[in-house]
Structure 1
């Protein structure tokens, strides 16, 4: 059976749901294709309650989409050429185009014996699971660090295992050092440079065989938080000229992936959490409707790690910027004694990365009390490319973290400049 629609949205997680609903409300005939529960699943532990509040306290249903005018088709969608999608034995043709929003799936570590065990992935943590007496966390990225600290503070004995030399490998090295110190202070046993080679489960608990000083670790539960990966092999992207072995679907500033094809969310390989996904979805909707507007601001996506102390980052790290050939100057300022409205004991730092050729910030990290909140001003500076010389002449607030921002900006000053 062949059917036609204005737009076909493949994948109805948060991004696909956003796109499908907005286009349907705009008057387009929209088909939404999804094999799993509509709305997707929530993310890392630290974000659960905020996302529930943002969503109005409950997950969307088929009826919600139908009320907006979306035609729901159950099944797995696959591209079959430009503006064509096959679902089981039915073929759908889109007059305007197709939006890919199938997301990314948790990356499972290449560990012998793991697949045969009842290990957790991050979404299991948010599904009302019981508090284990002990927990092994494999993966020291943002999600692993958040969950490790949350469970340790709740009373579990937690061991965090990271194969790299430091935690939070995609962030500034100072951030990983701060996170490790904070976790250890909360009782987490942090192991870096440790790779799990084999996992066993005896029906009661787990044994993780790790290369290094502690060859065998045991825990009641084991969580794998080693990131997410996009699988394009079964999506039929080769029928529209894309590489099925690629790590993500490449998109331009309007979220276009080809003629009559858009992509949003995890499938694009770009992060940013719920707000970044919403940003992509709004741009795709606008472009499908032919409305003008600015391109996606991926260079200034915020990254918030909900730990204590809180970590906020935006743009490029110093290493990433140098890797792209940018001439950079970096400055780090510690958060000193507390200022107005802050409590003693807050520790952390502010680090700024400047493109010296253009005189603008290309990256910033605020790690400490309310680091995610303080990040907003730095994100504005990165996004709007405010000249560093202008930022250096701002009058900053008296809070300790604001004074750290000011100190880092002044440290970027060169002789004879400003």
Structure 2
């Protein structure tokens, strides 16, 4: 006999954990199932530990910027305190007991098992079956994409997990992939003395962002000693017990002690039973409507929906699902036109909404404005490490900003003002009339507007 509950949440990453906990606190009987750590990638192998690594690497860079501005500095990078902090402060040595206790205290029945949908409203978890009268929430996240390169399978390559868990650093590293995750880790390791080579099949790194962002990131990382090979693909991987060699399709090779595969992530839902509730299990993601409903009685949140692989989006969608399940009168509907994203390199590259190319491809009559951070008063004062820019993408017909990039020493923080402008469709005329505090980095927004 199936046990009667209100909701079953499949997957307890940030979105699933948020949804399960809030539904339970609202008085519903909730079962949450996941064979992995509660909290998912973000607190254990993603945003939290990686930003600790980035903070440490940026301190090294800032120390090296003292010369010529505040005296003379020397530094000897040491990875051991970083690895120790990740284990003790971020991950409890990859133990999720605190997260489990927090979830259970909210009233969730937690089961560390893989869940499978067996029919409408029915879920098998281990040897127990549940009938969820209010619905099922799918929040199973994504897994790393491992490209089918000859020789790669069976070698001790790294994904982000092994990179985050590293207690000692290699002398050299090949990074396969020039996206945000790969570049953040690249810069960290380079600043700690690792010789890093990035191999990217497209013509530029950060290919989903503005070309100006790609150029800025490449210049910054090359300054840190990183070598780039763009526009080439790996055709073969070999490992001789002490290092990796990649053969590239231009006939050249690159070698390194370790290989980090950072070529993206994908959903893994084929064995979840989605077909039994009318969802294509072979699709690249689970399609959801404005209430994040994937099917009758099924909601999906987070990376599995294919709408921005970001922690903040998982939390955003979880809130929509919770309020929809609870039948809230003021339940919001999803809108992704102002999705913010930040690549936490130094300089930080924040972006929101559409790039110039995306806007033009959408048929929008576009004009752009751009200003360089070193030309702004605060950038000039900052001097060492002041690289960056602000770029605005404006819909001429509507007179509003539909996309923006904020790159610089505090690019992710300056982005907040631009995210508000895109989200609320603030007229450019109003932005031009605003008072921008002086001297701040965000004052450069006004200069970008004047350059339109």
Q: TM-score, normalised by structure 2?
A: 0.85
1:286 maps to 2:323: yes
1:29 maps to 2:32: no
Name the structure 1 match of 2:395. Answer: 355
User: Which residue of 267, 276, 281 corresponds with 1:239?
Assistant: 276
1:402 maps to 2:442: yes
What does residue range 332-347 of structure 1 map to in structure 2 within 5 Å? Answer: 332-337=370-375, 339-340=377-378, 342-345=381-384, 346-347=386-387
Contiguous gaps of at least 5 residues in structure 1: 413-418
Name the structure 2 match of 1:384. Answer: 424
How far has the Cα of 1:358 moved from its partner?
Answer: 1.7
Q: Is the CA contact (8 Å cut-off) linking 2:374 and 2:383 kept in structure 1?
A: no
User: Whole-Å Cα distance in 2 between the matches of residues 289 and 48 of structure 1?
Assistant: 37
Q: Is the CA contact (8 Å cut-off) linking 2:378 and 2:441 kept in structure 1?
A: no
Q: TM-score, normalised by structure 1?
A: 0.92
Q: Is the CA contact (8 Å cut-off) linking 2:303 and 2:310 kept in structure 1?
A: no
Name the structure 1 match of 2:69. Answer: none
1:12 maps to 2:12: yes
Q: Is the CA contact (8 Å cut-off) linking 2:302 and 2:309 kept in structure 1?
A: no
User: Which residue of 368, 384, 390 corresponds with 1:330?
Assistant: 368
Over residues 201-251 of structure 1, what are the superposed CA-to-partner deviations in whole Å (9 max), with x where a residue is unaligned? 1111111111226x1111111000111111232222222222222111111
Contiguous gaps of at least 5 residues in structure 2: 56-84
Relative to structure 1, the CA distance from residue 389 to residue 234 in structure 2 (aligned partners, 3 Å threshold; closer, same or farther) is same
What does residue range 118-129 of structure 1 map to in structure 2 within 5 Å? Answer: 118-129=156-167
How far has the Cα of 1:323 moved from its partner?
Answer: 2.2
Q: Name the SS of the counterpart of 1:390 in structure 2.
A: helix
User: Whole-Å Cα distance in 1 between the matches of residues 190 and 158 of structure 2?
Assistant: 16
How far has the Cα of 1:16 moved from its partner?
Answer: 1.1
Q: Is the CA contact (8 Å cut-off) linking 1:352 and 1:408 kept in structure 2?
A: yes
User: Which residue of 242, 249, 262 corresponds with 1:211?
Assistant: 249
User: Whole-Å Cα distance in 1 between the matches of residues 375 and 403 of structure 2?
Assistant: 25
1:47 maps to 2:84: no
Relative to structure 1, the CA distance from residue 52 to residue 273 in structure 2 (aligned partners, 3 Å threshold; closer, same or farther) is farther
Over residues 20-56 of structure 1, what are the superposed CA-to-partner deviations in whole Å (9 max), with x where a residue is unaligned? 1111111110011112232223315643579989x98
How far has the Cα of 1:400 moved from its partner?
Answer: 6.4
Over residues 294-331 of structure 1, what are the superposed CA-to-partner deviations in whole Å (9 max), with x where a residue is unaligned? 32342212111111111100111111122223222222
User: Whole-Å Cα distance in 1 between the matches of residues 184 and 263 of structure 2?
Assistant: 13
Name the structure 2 match of 1:104. Answer: 142
User: Whole-Å Cα distance in 2 between the matches of residues 392 and 197 of structure 1?
Assistant: 51
User: Whole-Å Cα distance in 2 between the matches of residues 167 and 155 of structure 1?
Assistant: 22
